[in-house]
Structure 1
């Protein structure tokens, strides 16, 4: 059992996501930065869908009551194991009574803590990912308890990884969306020639951008959306849907983020700058 002594700002359990239910109005959910989370699961020889802890901005204090192995990565946050600093993308052995504590956020926005064999939160429609009200809570609170499998001995094939950080990357690769052709030349120029900053309204559901482009008067039927779909409102505001985003929308879907671009954006916070680069879907 793991006891969450302090929960931090918004700490959740996420796995690869909940697939096959978009037509029922159920978001994919799952880790926002799949790039970082998947690297951690590989380090621990976990299944790709193993559930990890997603830590947003301010991290938790965690007490481990059984032996195991952990590693962390993503946002650059100071973290200690029994008051000793620990590094990202490196496997650490945990014994009963060990405490991991998160400190100051240095860069990025979301950090991930992976545990050997994954966290065992309840499976709901094929996933352990938190998504309220489908799951009974939206995030962990103080004194929460989490189940994991005790692991006394694990011989890691690779004990650490050198991962190229993308926390400073500002260019998001995008493909054309279903309503891309509705954009005029001026809108296209504004979309790809200017920088945008993350507005105050951003979370696991969607990121809104501060700057606008020229608006439109197009009306359309409500249509399917995906994580990474970029919509434009009549006033020219851009809304980027994320992992907990709505499954349908009534605004033109002009662009679609690549998987890597979703991970990059997931590490941005209010005031951070991004721009768009049009590429093929498989980049």
Structure 2
């Protein structure tokens, strides 16, 4: 069991999401940066769908009410165990009574905390991912307790360490495929999508990332159609919206591009005013 002493900016429980329910209007949800979440789980030999904590920008302070083996990955958020700094992508043992805390973001904005055995919060529609209106809460609150299943046989120091070769924080290029309405636009308009650099808007969250620049004003409309995380929509005003893990299941703006899962993870680590560009794939 973990007790939340301080909440941080936004801390939620996430797994791979509610796969298979979009036909009834249920968003996928799940870890925004699924690759970093997978690394944290992998270090502990957890199942890929074991629930982790997704910690955004300013992290929480957590008291461990029993011993646990943990790993953190993703953003660097000044993590400490009992005021001793720790690093990402390494396995640590925490004793009963230890306190894990996070500070301000150094690199990236979303960090993932995994515990051996996974967090055991309520499961609804085969997922523990927080989502308002589906789970009983949408974020962790002060004094919440979070159960987990870790069954440690000893208290030896663990030395697992993984060098993260996924350069999420160094790249600004997002791999994209053409969306269903990509070919509604002229070659020059398509070139604007691929050749421009864009700025992440402050109006960005788990539902979607908006980009500041106006790229192609248009009057093209479509019948409301399915969308998925990573779908890039083009509004009539010429603005781009990139749908993320908590996005709706349908939309009425032209779907001009589609991000790969790796690109969704990269974008999930970008903050307001960061620059991104699209890297076209072979199929475009």
Structure 2 length normalisation: TM-score? Answer: 0.96
Shift, 1:201, TM fit: 0.8
2:242 is aligned to 240
What are the Cα deviations for residues 198-228 of structure 1, in whole angstroms up to 9, with x where unaligned?
0111000000000111211112110000000
Shift, 1:158, TM fit: 7.2
Shift, 1:239, TM fit: 0.4
Map residues 1-283 of structure 1 onto 2, 5 A cutoff. Answer: 1-153=1-153, 159-164=160-165, 165-280=167-282
What are the Cα deviations for residues 144-163 of structure 1, in whole angstroms up to 9, with x where unaligned?
11011242237899711011
Are the aligned partners of 1:79 and 1:102 in contact in 2 as well (CA < 8 Å)?
A: yes
Are the aligned partners of 1:4 and 1:60 in contact in 2 as well (CA < 8 Å)?
A: yes
Shift, 1:194, TM fit: 1.2
In structure 2, stretches of 5+ residues that fail to align are none
Are the aligned partners of 2:91 and 2:158 in contact in 1 as well (CA < 8 Å)?
A: no
- Root-mean-square deviation (CA), in Å? 1.5
**Between 148-157 and 202-211, the greater mean CA deviation after superposition:** 148-157
What are the Cα deviations for residues 82-114 of structure 1, in whole angstroms up to 9, with x where unaligned?
111111000001110000011121111100100
**Between 272-281 and 24-33, the greater mean CA deviation after superposition:** 272-281
What are the Cα deviations for residues 154-207 of structure 1, in whole angstroms up to 9, with x where unaligned?
789971101123212100000010011012123212111110010111000000
- Tell me, in whole angstroms, the C-alpha distance in 2 between the residues paired with 1:158 and 1:38: 19
Shift, 1:47, TM fit: 0.5
Hey, which bits of structure 1, 4+ residues long, moved more than 4 A?
154-158
What are the Cα deviations for residues 7-52 of structure 1, in whole angstroms up to 9, with x where unaligned?
1001000001111011100011000001101011111000010000
How has the CA–CA distance of structure 1 residues 186 and 6 changed in structure 2, closer, same or farther, with 3 Å as cutoff? same
Are the aligned partners of 2:182 and 2:190 in contact in 1 as well (CA < 8 Å)?
A: no
In structure 1, stretches of 5+ residues that fail to align are none
- Tell me, in whole angstroms, the C-alpha distance in 1 between the residues paired with 2:157 and 2:243: 37
Are the aligned partners of 1:43 and 1:156 in contact in 2 as well (CA < 8 Å)?
A: no
What are the Cα deviations for residues 44-89 of structure 1, in whole angstroms up to 9, with x where unaligned?
0000100000000000000000111001010111110011111100
Determine helix, strand or coil for the equivalent of 1:207. strand
How has the CA–CA distance of structure 1 residues 259 and 157 changed in structure 2, closer, same or farther, with 3 Å as cutoff? farther
Pick the structure with more strand per residue: 1
- Tell me, in whole angstroms, the C-alpha distance in 2 between the residues paired with 1:144 and 1:192: 45
**Between 51-60 and 161-170, the greater mean CA deviation after superposition:** 161-170
Are the aligned partners of 2:117 and 2:150 in contact in 1 as well (CA < 8 Å)?
A: no
